[in-house]
Amino acid sequence: MIDDFYAEYGSLTGEKDAIDVDEIITALAKTVAELTYGSDAALRQRVLEDLMREISQFEAEFTNAPASDMRH
């Protein structure tokens, strides 16, 4: 998904391997909006809550595990 975003829009600096966190957040927001477009409010809310829970779980893993033990 992120590779597709950079392939379509490129990076602000024009660097091939540059990662801009704001661009990634925008890409994720657009993707979630596309996935939930036309869904009822309860489903959109559940998707957002699931996403936040996953982010929190990964943050905990990154904080507590050596780099070699992190899942991808």
Phi, psi (degrees; rounded to nearest 5) at 62: -65, -35
Residue with tokens 């904080």: 63
Tell me the pTM.
0.57
Q: Which residue has the higher pLDDT, 1 or 42?
A: 42
Percent of the chain whose pLDDT exceeds 70: 71
Query: What dihedral angle (degrees, nearest 10) is formed by the CA atoms of 7, 9, 10, 13?
Result: -170
Q: 5-37, pLDDT tens digit by residue? A: 667 766 656 666 667 788 889 999 999 999 999
